[in-house]
Amino acid sequence: MDKYYYFVSQLPLLTFDKETYLTRIDFLAEASKWLSAKELDNLSSVDLNNFKVKLEDSFLLKSYKEFEKGLRQSLVLIRRPQEARSGEQVEEEVKEATSLKSPLEVEKRLLYMRWKFLEGLSFGHYFDLEFLRAYYLKLQMLERLFTFDKSKGTVVFDKLSEVNID
């Protein structure tokens, strides 16, 4: 248990929408110094884009994956015509997020919703493996957030939307 105290105490504080110097690779490299091979393998398997619940998942991971699944289901419902929803209700916060003008702002808001949910889940976990799992997910969220680049996106968009008249 002591190893978690030393490892966690040297990690930088993560704040949503603030870039960090710590990368996922650096995080896992440092984790390899403090965790057993089994713990490291377990931690490195945590993936923001994998929301399929496994039997061996911890409570935090199961809860987060269920939240993610629900969030994505809400997004599916929003994209359906009103009459095709068959009485299913969309969460108001998701409705509000998807009504923003810019797709980038929508994505940021959805990431922020994930971040806040994860913070709630990790409350009370300060020096344990659950804290490290939540931290690793947050690192992945920040990585995703800071990969958005307007100039690169414009170039890709222009290229994809070129009309070839040949």
Q: Read off the pLDDT of residues 11-61 as tens digits, 9 standing for 90 and up.
A: 999 999 999 999 999 999 999 999 999 999 999 999 999 989 999 999 999
Give the tens place of pLDDT for each residue, 83-130: 556 666 778 888 899 889 889 999 999 999 999 999 999 998 999 999
**Percentage of the chain with pLDDT > 70?**
93
Q: What is each CA distance from 117 to 29, 68, 162, in whole angstroms?
A: 27, 10, 40
Query: 115 and 102 in contact (C-beta within 8 Å)?
Result: no
Domain-by-domain residue ranges, the chain? 2-160
Considering only CA atoms, give the Rg of the chain: 19
Helix (H, G, I), strand (E, B) or coil at 118: helix
**What pTM value is reported for the model?**
0.85
Burial of 94 (0-12, 13-18, 19+ CB in 10 A): buried
